[in-house]
Structures are given as C-alpha cells and as structure tokens.
C-alpha cells in the first residue's frame, strides 16, 4: 500500500508539474485576455442574447479564464506537484493532491457540458474534456483515494530530515514566490489591436459608395455602346425598330425610368427592370438620361443624389488627416489576399481555431456573403484571417465558404481576443469592432455607415 501511494503521488505530482509548464508556454506564446476583458466579453455575450449578466457573475467567470488567474494557477499547480513528488509531510501533500484532482473533475465536467473543444489543462495541446475526465481526473482521484499514506501523520511531529526538508521546501517556495513575476517580466510584447475613432470615415465610405455607383454606370454605358455599334450597321430608316430589337435582351415590355434619344430626334423609353444595377447603384438620383448622339455614342447624364444627413460639423473644425494604410496588411501571409482586401470595402474577420464565437459566426458570415454574390451584390467583401498558432484541422470556417481566406504571419506575437473584426476601405482602416465580438452579418453595412 505504501509503495503504491508513493508511485501514485509521484505520477500525479509530475502530471501537475507538466501541466503547469505547458500553461506557462501558452502564456508566453499566446495573448491570454485580461480579467476585465474576459468579464466584459461575458457581459457582451449575454447582451447579444437579450440577457443582463450581473457584474459580479461576469467578474467571477472572467477571472477563471484570465491572464491574472494563470499567474496564480501556474505557480500553485507546479508547487503542489513538486510537493507530492518529494513526499515532504506526505499525508498533507496527499490530501491536498487528492482534493485538487477531485476539484478537476467538476471543472472538466463543466467544460464538457458547455461544449469546450479542449479542457485547457495542457496549454496549447488540445485534449477533449471527456478524455481528460475519463482517463485522468476520475482515475487519479480514485487511485489517490484508495492508496492512502498509511502510517503517516497529517502534521508533525515527527519532523522530517532537515536536509530533505530544505532541498524540497526551498525550490517549492521559490516557485511560489518568483514564478508569476518571472512570467510577467519575460512575457514577450504582443501586437495589440488598434482602436480607432475617425470622424471622416463615414464620409469617405459614402464617397466610395458613389464611386462604385459611377463605375457600374460606366460599365452599363460601355455595354450600350456595343449595342449602338450593332445599331449603326442597320439602315437609318429603321433605327428605332432595330434599336428595340437589339435591346430585347435587356429591356422589358413596360417602358419607364430610362429615356434614350436616338440622333437627338427620336425618343425611346425602356424599362429599368433588367437594368436595375444602374438604378440601385445610383439610388435616389434626381434625373438619369441615356442619350445616343449623332455619332452613335451613348452618353449618360445624372444628378448626384445628396448624401444621407450626418452629424453637423463645426465649420471651424480642422478636418482629420487622411488615414494611412492599415499597418497589419504587411503581416498578411498571402500576397493575393493582401491585394484583395486592399481594394474596395472589405470586412476582415480575424479568428482563432479555439474561439467559440468564431465557430458560431463564421458560417453565418459565409452564408450571408454567398447570398450577396448570388444576388450580384458586391457592396463589400468578407475575408477570414487565421491568427497563429494555426491548427492542423482548421474547422472554424466552412470548407465551401466563398469568403477570402488568409493568415496573419506567425512571426509576430498577436495580442488580440478573437474574433476581431475591422472594416477596410482601399486598404485603410475605417472601423473596428470590440475584441471578442462580431456584428451580425446583415447589420454590417449599417454599422459601417453609422446608420
């Protein structure tokens, strides 16, 4: 019985020490969120579901997932493991270790019920909660409870050998006192998200919307010019009839909206139902006229709609300086992805493989973007950027997603809580959302344009 107790306490203690070392590695390699950030994330999640979470509850839940808790857990876990291995005051060490594994059972069970992908016991090494519960927590608790240190008192006397006590106690106390300060001191600097407030962003976004509208109009003009080329090949006496025939593909039976003048003399009204891209891209335009000149070229004239009213600005206020390119663009691994999100309006979602919110929102974004593309709506692009450390079996984003997929370089330390969503316009940072949150996809444009 005594030998089995020594074996079990040694194995269980070594496991605690290994777990503490792996957690230290995680803290040094990844940006574990702070206590207040995790608490706020819980409050935001509850608000998103229409619930109100008390501050005390958010603080309690946030603490056990925070960087501050790691600073307490790592030295205590390592010291307890070392204590169990060295056997100093064996019965007290056995009791503390047994209670520790008993507590682990409930923690792991809670994570299993909440749907966590990993128990979090071994840092970046993912182990499913049910495996930890079935093969580590419950078996070790039962074996420790069965093989007790018989013949040992909980507290002295008798006192242990002085040399043995010093050799064991000094390193354990050193870990308890120095581990947390050393982690804080040697933890590398992580790149933190840039929280920006740009009063000129909305105006530039509206300008981009009008620019896209003009671009679409130009495409329609080019298309009509090709039709005119066909028209010019027909006899002059049948201009109108020929023109109607050429426009059969794009014009409906009931005329409205668009007026086409042939040679400045004849007038033809065509239906806009099949030209709604023009109409929608220049929404609320006061006047739109498509004219075919004597030389057979199509000209389009329109009055630019007035932008939506925004907050009144002080005439004496100094205009904000233009925003520079988003500095994180250079850290996008793929050149093609960098180019794609640097053009037009792009919503960039930075995600991690172990992020529950990312797993929930990524399919919604993918489905929404697919519907946009099916409708011919290219108002903006959606891109997913994986944040290191990467995962071999990346399953956050659906395999059939039409969204742009890329990665942030693993040569930097990224200090962000995922998901982290930003809006870029021509590569410039226009808007950021709070870390750990993601807007509903059907409300993105409204939030971007401040509506």
Mean pLDDT of 324-342: 89
Does 229 fall in a domain?
Answer: yes
Whether the CB-CB separation of 389 and 30 falls below 8 Å is answered with yes
Same domain membership, residue 8 and residue 69: yes
pLDDT at 20 over 50: yes
Does 403 fall in a domain?
Answer: yes
Same domain membership, residue 242 and residue 161: no
350 φ, ψ (degrees, to nearest 5): -95, 130
Same domain membership, residue 276 and residue 209: yes
Q: How confident is the model at residue 204 (pLDDT cuts 50, 70, 90)?
A: low
Which of the two residues, 403 and 284, has the higher pLDDT score? Answer: 403
**C-alpha distance from residue 272 to each of 44, 354, 388, 398 (Å):** 45, 49, 49, 37
pLDDT at 231 over 80: no
Does 311 fall in a domain?
Answer: no
What CATH number does the domain containing 374 carry? 3.40.30.10
What count of other Cβ atoms lies within 10 Å of the Cβ of residue 59?
18
H-state helical runs in 236-346:
239-246, 276-281, 335-341
Angle between helices 162-186 and 2-29 (to 10 degrees): 20
Of 46-60, 73-87, 184-198, 295-309, where does mean pLDDT reach its minimum?
A: 295-309
122 φ, ψ (degrees, to nearest 5): -120, 40
**Selection from 285, 253, 290 nearest residue 271 by Cα:** 253
- Which residue, 186, 209, 241, sits at the end of a domain? 186
Does 45 fall in a domain?
Answer: yes
Tokens of 348: 């960039």
- pLDDT for the residue 84: 94
Mean pLDDT of 29-40: 82
- pLDDT for the residue 266: 40
Same domain membership, residue 147 and residue 22: yes
Same domain membership, residue 208 and residue 167: no
pLDDT at 31 over 50: yes
What SS3 class is residue 135? helix
Task: Kindly report, residue by residue over 168-189, the tens digit of the pLDDT.
Answer: 888 888 988 898 888 888 887 7
Does 307 fall in a domain?
Answer: no
Mean pLDDT of 207-215: 60
Quick one: DSSP state of residue 136? I
Pairing type for strands 404-407 and 381-386 reads parallel
Of 100-109, 316-325, 370-379, where does mean pLDDT reach its minimum?
A: 316-325
* Domain total in the chain: 3
Same domain membership, residue 441 and residue 294: no
Task: Kindly report, residue by residue over 38-71, the tens digit of the pLDDT.
Answer: 888 778 778 777 888 888 888 887 888 788 899 9
**Selection from 272, 252, 269 nearest residue 261 by Cα:** 269
- pLDDT for the residue 336: 93
- pLDDT for the residue 207: 60
pLDDT at 102 over 80: yes
Same domain membership, residue 248 and residue 149: no
Of 8-12, 148-152, 196-200, 285-289, where does mean pLDDT reach its minimum?
A: 285-289
The answer to whether the peptide bond before residue 157 is cis (omega within 30 degrees of 0) is yes
pLDDT at 270 over 70: no
**Selection from 260, 256, 309, 306 nearest residue 279 by Cα:** 256
- Which residue, 186, 210, 233, sits at the end of a domain? 186
Does 14 fall in a domain?
Answer: yes
Whether the CB-CB separation of 442 and 367 falls below 8 Å is answered with no
Same domain membership, residue 39 and residue 125: yes
- pLDDT for the residue 347: 92
Q: Which domain holds residue 438?
A: 327-448
The pTM score is 0.56
Mean pLDDT of 376-395: 82
pLDDT at 156 over 80: no
Task: Kindly report, residue by residue over 104-153, the tens digit of the pLDDT.
Answer: 999 999 888 877 778 889 988 889 999 999 999 999 999 999 998 887 88
Does 408 fall in a domain?
Answer: yes
Same domain membership, residue 219 and residue 180: no
Paired with 298 in beta bridges are 292
- pLDDT for the residue 228: 59
| Sole residue written with tokens 């309690």 | 60
What Rg, from alpha-carbon coordinates, does the chain have? 33
CA distance 117 to 358: 13
Same domain membership, residue 168 and residue 250: no
Same domain membership, residue 44 and residue 159: yes
Does 313 fall in a domain?
Answer: no
**C-alpha distance from residue 94 to each of 26, 256, 262 (Å):** 28, 87, 97
The answer to whether the peptide bond before residue 158 is cis (omega within 30 degrees of 0) is yes
Same domain membership, residue 274 and residue 236: yes
What SS3 class is residue 172? helix
Mean pLDDT of the chain: 76
- Which residue, 186, 213, 243, sits at the end of a domain? 186
Tokens of 328: 């994180």
């Amino acid at each position: 019985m005594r030998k089995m107790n020594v074996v079990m306490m040694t194995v269980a203690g070594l496991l605690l020490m290994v777990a503490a070392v792996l957690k230290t590695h995680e803290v040094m390699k990844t940006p574990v969120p702070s206590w207040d950030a995790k608490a706020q994330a819980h409050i935001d999640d509850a608000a998103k579901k229409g619930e109100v979470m008390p501050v005390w509850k958010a603080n309690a839940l946030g603490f056990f997932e925070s960087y501050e808790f790691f600073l307490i857990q790592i030295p205590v876990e390592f010291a307890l493991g070392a204590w169990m291995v060295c056997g100093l005051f064996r019965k007290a060490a056995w009791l503390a270790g047994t209670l520790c594994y008993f507590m682990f059972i409930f923690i792991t069970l809670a994570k299993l019920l909440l749907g966590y992908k990993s128990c979090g016991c071994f840092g970046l090494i993912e182990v499913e909660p049910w495996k930890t519960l079935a093969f580590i927590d419950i078996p070790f608790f039962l074996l420790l409870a069965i093989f007790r240190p018989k013949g040992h008192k909980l507290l002295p006397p008798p006192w242990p050998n002085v040399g043995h006590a010093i050799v064991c106690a000094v390193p354990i106390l050193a870990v308890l006192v120095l581990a947390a300060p050393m982690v804080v001191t040697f933890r590398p600097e992580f790149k933190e998200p840039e929280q920006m407030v740009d009063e000129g962003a909305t105006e530039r976004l509206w300008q981009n919307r009008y620019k896209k509208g003009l671009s679409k109009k130009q495409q329609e003009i080019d298309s009509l010019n090709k039709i005119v080329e066909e028209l010019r090949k027909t006899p002059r006496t049948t201009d109108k009839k020929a023109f109607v025939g050429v426009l059969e593909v794009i014009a409906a039976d009931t005329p409205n909206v668009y007026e086409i003048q042939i040679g400045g003399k004849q007038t033809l009204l065509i239906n806009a139902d099949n030209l709604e891209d023009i109409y929608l891209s220049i929404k609320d335009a006061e006047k739109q006229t498509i004219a075919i000149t004597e030389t057979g070229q199509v000209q389009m004239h329109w009055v630019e709609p007035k932008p939506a009213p925004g907050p009144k600005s002080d005439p004496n206020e100094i205009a904000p300086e233009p925003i520079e390119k988003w500095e994180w663009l250079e850290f996008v691994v793929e050149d093609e992805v960098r180019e794609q999100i640097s053009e037009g309006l792009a919503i960039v979602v930075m995600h991690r493989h172990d992020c529950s919110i990312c797993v929930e929102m990524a399919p919604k974004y993918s489905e929404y973007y697919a519907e946009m593309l099916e409708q011919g709506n290219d108002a903006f692009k959606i891109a997913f950027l994986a944040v290191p450390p990467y995962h071999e079996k990346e399953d956050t984003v659906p395999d059939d997603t039409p969204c742009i997929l890329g990665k942030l370089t693993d040569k930097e330390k990224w200090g962000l809580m995922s998901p982290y969503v930003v809006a870029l316009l021509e590569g410039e940072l226009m808007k950021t959302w709070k870390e750990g949150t993601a807007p509903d996809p059907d409300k993105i444009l409204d939030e971007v344009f401040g509506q």
